[in-house]
Amino acid sequence: MAIEMSVTVVVGGFFGDEGKGKIISYLAMKDNPSATVRGGVGPNAGHTVVYEGKSYKLRMLPSAILNKQTKLMISAGVLINPNVLLNEIKTFDVGSRVLIDSQCSIIEDAHIERDRGGHLKERIGTTGSGTGPANSDRVLRIAKIARDISSLKDYVGDVALEVNRLIDDGASIILEGTQGTFLSLYHGTYPYVTSKDVTASAICSDVGIGPKKVKDVFVVFKSYVTRVGEGFLPGEISEEEAIKRGWREVATVTGRVRRSAPFNLELAKRAIMLNSATQIALTKLDVIFPDASGMTSFEALSKEAKKFIEDIENSLRVPVSIISTGPEVFDTIDRRDQLRIMA
Ligand code: GTP
Ligand code: IMP
Ligand code: MG
């Protein structure tokens, strides 16, 4: 008997910080998945979840921490900084729900040191979290892995096996990507990129599932584009202009000011292609249309806001099925049912 697939992959469509944390926390509370599994690079990521006025910052755990039914897994492709991870497990008191793959590479102090000087700091402008040097040690086959670290032993297991078992049982799973499409080592703006591929296929390979197991790929776009560190940013505006428009942001992990630019359809089109996107999640609509703030219905949006969304759909030929209108988990317009009826 065929079992209905329910694996959803969520990835960033621009340069990271599109608001994946918000979108994944919404999907986790609304769809109640059995597990959320982190793919991507490692603790260079910063995700923010806001619920009932409280803000949760995450660098290692998946953004589904608020749904107590959901297991929190970290896949083999992800680098672990044990201090950061153990601190998050303790802070959010989620130890019983955590499973990390025994094959995750470990970030050590020496990696962080190498990431905070020379070419990586000066030319690339990395986050300094040790991820690039740790990935290079993995390629050299000298990196430690999670099963070598005694402080992690309570959480270590076989994530690939668990996820594939859950899929075979018909459970629903969210795979959480990090960074963004144009920070991909292979498909991004090389050399101003991160240390791995981070497109949807790479997230599946991090976890250990094949592409035929995926039902939906959400690409998350912010209503404008931001970038931290060096590299190409088409249509970049000055920091002064960004402040005027309310687009100026400060990075979660490094505290650096993010550069910004208007929404870019050409980049978005390429992100849709590179990820085989089936749906788009659009965040921060309220930042460019303040009257959309906190809205939960598409019909209630202004004509201008609707046109902004429809222009994206018409150009990209992919439905904008989730729209974020504020930082809170449920400041969200969910059009998935409506769009399914129309399809
Ligand atoms: P990812 O790295 O893609 O996960 O993004 P992030 O979650 O790290 O986002 P970031 O650290 O850039 O934080 C964005 C901030 O905007 C956080 O404080 C979020 O709570 C907030 N945010 C997310 N979505 C929206 C939205 O639709 N509207 C507004 N006003 N704020 C949002
Ligand atoms: P690294 O991943 O720390 O090596 O940094 C390489 C590049 O990717 C730099 O431009 C960083 O600013 C950027 N980067 C890495 N992770 C993130 C992220 O989560 N959000 C935004 N930019 C990131
Ligand atoms: Mg971020």
Please, what is the average pLDDT of the chain? 96
CB of 259 closer than 6 angstroms to any ligand 1 atom = no
Instruction: Give, using CA atoms, the residue closest to atom 24 of ligand 1.
Output: 327
Q: Residue 234: count other Cβ atoms within 10 Å of its Cβ.
A: 10
> CA dihedral defined by 4, 60, 56, 309, rounded to 10 degrees?
-50
CB of 229 closer than 6 angstroms to any ligand 2 atom = yes
Comparing 107-121, 192-206, 232-246, 248-262, which segment has the lowest mean pLDDT? 248-262
- Which is catalytic among the residues 31, 47, 154, 334? 47
What pTM was computed for the model?
0.97
Does residue 103 carry a pLDDT above 70?
yes
For residues 190 and 187, what is the distance between their CA atoms, to the nearest angstrom?
A: 8
Give the pLDDT confidence of 305-328 residue by residue, as tens digits. 999 999 999 999 999 999 999 999
Question: What integer is the mean pLDDT of 292-301?
Answer: 98
pLDDT of residue 253: 77
Residue 61 pLDDT class (50, 70, 90 cuts): very high
- Which is catalytic among the residues 17, 101, 137, 286? 17
pLDDT of residue 252: 76
Residue 254 pLDDT class (50, 70, 90 cuts): confident
What is the 193 CA–ligand 1 centroid distance (Å)? 21
What is the 329 CA–ligand 3 centroid distance (Å)? 16
CB of 39 closer than 6 angstroms to any ligand 1 atom = no
* E runs forming strands in the chain: 7-12, 35-38, 47-51, 54-58, 71-74, 98-101, 156-157, 173-176, 214-222, 224-227, 259-262, 279-283, 320-324, 332-334
Q: Residue 239: count other Cβ atoms within 10 Å of its Cβ.
A: 14
pLDDT of residue 343: 59
pLDDT of residue 251: 85
CB of 198 closer than 6 angstroms to any ligand 2 atom = no
pLDDT of residue 340: 78
CB of 18 closer than 6 angstroms to any ligand 1 atom = yes
Beta-sheet pairing, 156-157 with 71-74: unpaired
Q: Residue 336: count other Cβ atoms within 10 Å of its Cβ.
A: 15
What is the 30 CA–ligand 2 centroid distance (Å)? 29
pLDDT of residue 339: 86
Coil, strand or helix: which one is 280? strand
What is the 177 CA–ligand 2 centroid distance (Å)? 13
Please indicate whether residue 187 is annotated as part of the active site: no
Give the pLDDT confidence of 259-280 residue by residue, as tens digits. 999 999 999 999 999 999 999 9
Residue 297 pLDDT class (50, 70, 90 cuts): very high
CB of 324 closer than 6 angstroms to any ligand 1 atom = yes
Q: State the closest ligand 1 atom to the C-alpha of 24, by its place in the atom list counted from 1.
A: 4
pLDDT of residue 306: 98
What is the 56 CA–ligand 2 centroid distance (Å)? 20
Instruction: Give, using CA atoms, the residue closest to atom 1 of ligand 1.
Output: 17
Q: State the closest ligand 1 atom to the C-alpha of 284, by its place in the atom list counted from 1.
A: 27
Does residue 1 carry a pLDDT above 60?
no
Give the pLDDT confidence of 125-149 residue by residue, as tens digits. 999 999 999 999 999 999 999 999 9
CB 222 within 8 A of CB 18: yes
Please indicate whether residue 47 is annotated as part of the active site: yes
Give the pLDDT confidence of 24-47 residue by residue, as tens digits. 999 999 999 999 999 999 999 999
Written as six digits, the tokens of 156 are 């270590």
Q: State the closest ligand 1 atom to the C-alpha of 287, by its place in the atom list counted from 1.
A: 30
- Produce one character per residue of 63-90: b if its CB has 16 or more CB atoms within 10 Å, e if not: bbbbbeebbbbbbbbbbbbbebbbebbe
pLDDT of residue 3: 57
Query: Which residues are bridge partners to 323 per DSSP?
Result: 282, 333
Specify the higher pLDDT residue, 31 or 255.
31
Beta-sheet pairing, 224-227 with 332-334: unpaired
> Residue 191: is the preceding peptide bond cis (ω within 30°)?
yes
pLDDT of residue 2: 55
Q: State the closest ligand 1 atom to the C-alpha of 49, by its place in the atom list counted from 1.
A: 20
Specify the higher pLDDT residue, 251 or 175.
175
Q: Residue 276: count other Cβ atoms within 10 Å of its Cβ.
A: 15
Give the pLDDT confidence of 209-245 residue by residue, as tens digits. 999 999 999 999 999 999 998 999 999 999 999 999 9
Contacts of 328 (CB under 8 A, 6+ apart): 50, 51, 52, 53, 294
Residue 260: how many CA atoms within 13 Å on its side-chain side?
23
For residues 206 and 38, what is the distance between their CA atoms, to the nearest angstrom?
A: 9
For 235, phi then psi, to 5°, come to 75, 20
Give the CA radius of gyration of the chain: 19
Residue 342 pLDDT class (50, 70, 90 cuts): low
Does residue 90 carry a pLDDT above 80?
yes
Nearest to 216 by CA among 331, 339, 299, 75: 339
Specify the higher pLDDT residue, 341 or 71.
71
Residues of the chain with pLDDT > 70, as a percent, come to: 98
Question: What integer is the mean pLDDT of 76-80?
Answer: 98
pLDDT of residue 314: 97
